[in-house]
Amino acid sequence: MIPIKPSTINLTVDDIRGHFIQGNFLGHRAPTHLVALENTLSGVIMPIEDVREISEFTRNMGAQVHMDGSRLWNAATTDKELCEYAGLVDSLSLCLSKGMGCPVGALLVGSRQFIDRARHFRKAFGGGWRQAGILAAAGLYAIEHVWPTMPNTHMQAKRLARGLESLGYVLALPVHTNMVMLDTTKSTSVSTEVLSQALKPRGIILGAVYEESYLRMVLHHQINDECIDIILAVANELAAK
């Protein structure tokens, strides 16, 4: 496995091309058979154009493409967009808990032959599950009722980001979907730690610092406009002191 750090905000075909291993190099390096993408990553959407270029290059080189689409629901908010992304990869995973609200569950998508093989390995490793209908029902409810609310959640995240930026907070990444990533190392009038402590009495708990230098704020369908108003009001109060 070779992790690739993107040269821009997301992976491009040039990043893949520069790390693709063709042949076995006298047995010293394993040739590339699979390219795995993640979409979204930290709330940032990988554009469909980049996925298409990576897919074309990888398949022309005789390898396959898998997409970790745990949060692909956020990148593709319509059936058409979801199908378009899925059509560019050989296999795809979709999470039913992250952002979708299910207690547990995920979907694996691929060809009939691929799914048959996946079921074999699931069974071999003790992954068979009986009476799973109640979990399937939760998944169907999420697809029908929670997925359509994501565009509104994305607008809330962007409003929150704009409000915090206006007070001196620095975004670590652009806000495409439901995540607001604050860079805790950059100077600002009020630290994220002070903001976090001030929000606790208002019933809002911000998670711990993410990867040492980021504060990750993740919105979901149960976050309403009032919650965003409270965060921005408290941030404004602190900045005014």
pLDDT one-digit tens code per residue, 211-230? 667 888 999 999 999 999 99
Structure tokens at 196: 């976090």
The answer, yes or no, to whether residue 149 has pLDDT greater than 90, is yes
Cα–Cα distance between 224 and 13 in angstroms, integer?
38
The answer, yes or no, to whether residue 196 has pLDDT greater than 90, is no
The answer, yes or no, to whether residue 180 has pLDDT greater than 80, is yes
Structure tokens at 119: 């079921």
**pLDDT score of 26:** 60
Structure tokens at 24: 């076995």
Determine if the pTM surpasses 0.85.
yes
Q: Looking at 20-34, 99-113, 131-145, 177-191, which range is the least confident one?
A: 20-34
Torsion of Cα atoms, 200 then 205 then 210 then 212, to 10°: 10
Give residue 187's pLDDT band: very low, low, confident or very high (50, 70, 90): low
pLDDT one-digit tens code per residue, 102-141? 998 899 999 999 999 999 999 999 887 778 888 899 999 9
Give residue 208's pLDDT band: very low, low, confident or very high (50, 70, 90): low
Half-sphere exposure of 28 (CA within 13 A, CB side): 2
Average pLDDT, the chain: 91
How far CA 43 is from CA of 10, 46, 123, in Å, comes to: 11, 10, 33
Q: Which amino acid is at 42?
A: S
Decide: 182 and 164 in contact? Cβ < 8 Å. yes
Residue 78, helix vs strand vs coil: coil
Residue with tokens 């296999």: 91
The answer, yes or no, to whether residue 169 has pLDDT greater than 80, is yes
- Using the CB atoms, write b or e for 64-90: b if 16+ within 10 Å: bbbbbbbbbbbbbbeeeebeebbebbb
Half-sphere exposure of 19 (CA within 13 A, CB side): 17
Count of other CB atoms within 10 angstroms of residue 18: 10
Check residue 178 and report its DSSP letter. S
Residue 28 buriedness (CB in 10 A; 0-12 / 13-18 / 19+): exposed
Q: How far apart are the first and last CA of the chain?
A: 51
Residue 18 Ramachandran class (φ > 0 left, ψ -120 to 50 alpha, else beta): alpha
Average pLDDT over residues 148-168: 95
Decide: 199 and 205 in contact? Cβ < 8 Å. yes
The percentage of residues in the chain with a pLDDT greater than 90, rounded to a whole number, is 67
Q: Give the pairing of strands 91-95 and 64-69.
A: parallel
Top-confidence residue, 54 or 7: 54
pLDDT one-digit tens code per residue, 47-102? 999 999 999 999 999 999 999 999 999 999 888 999 999 999 999 999 999 989 99
Average pLDDT over residues 140-161: 96
